[in-house]
């Protein structure tokens, strides 16, 4: 159950970061209102707060979070930007998730 809680926390953290970065992109590259920066800043603040809720040491959390971030970013690409990932994208995600699992589930020395 703890693993599912941490996975959900990783996913929520990734979504907050992606939204916080995507909204300024819309403003800079797509001509949206500068007001997009307000929810972007709030989303990035949420991202930082969510990082503090992770149970592992910060460095380990950031390293493992990268695997989930890559996965969620590709889902975002597909769902929000309407660009279907290709086979190599999925292979890359598998490698990232394997790396994340090794980091998070590996033995710890006291």
Q: What pLDDT was estimated at residue 67? A: 86
3-state helix, strand, coil in the chain (%, to 5): 80, 0, 20
**Domain with 31 in it:** 2-105
Q: What is the domain count for the chain? A: 1
Q: Please report whether residue 35 resides in a domain.
A: yes
Instruction: Give the chain's mean pLDDT.
Output: 89
Q: Please report whether residue 72 resides in a domain.
A: yes
Residue 6: C-alpha distances to residues 10, 11, 25, 104 (Å): 6, 9, 29, 10
Q: Please report whether residue 110 resides in a domain.
A: no
Q: What pLDDT was estimated at residue 100? A: 84
Q: Please report whether residue 70 resides in a domain.
A: yes
Q: What is the pLDDT of residues 3-26, one digit of tens each?
A: 788 888 888 999 999 999 999 999
The pTM (predicted TM-score) of the whole model is 0.80
């Amino acid at each position: 159950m703890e693993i599912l809680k941490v996975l959900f926390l990783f996913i929520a953290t990734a979504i907050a970061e992606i939204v916080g970065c995507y909204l300024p992109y819309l403003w800079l590259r797509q001509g949206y209102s500068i007001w997009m920066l307000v929810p972007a800043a709030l989303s990035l603040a949420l991202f930082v707060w969510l990082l503090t809720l992770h149970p592992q040491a910060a460095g380990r959390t950031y390293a493992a979070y990268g695997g989930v971030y890559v996965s969620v970013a590709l889902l975002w690409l597909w769902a929000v930007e309407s660009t279907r990932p290709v086979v190599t994208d999925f292979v890359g995600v598998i490698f990232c998730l394997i790396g994340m699992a090794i980091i998070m589930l590996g033995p710890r020395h006291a």
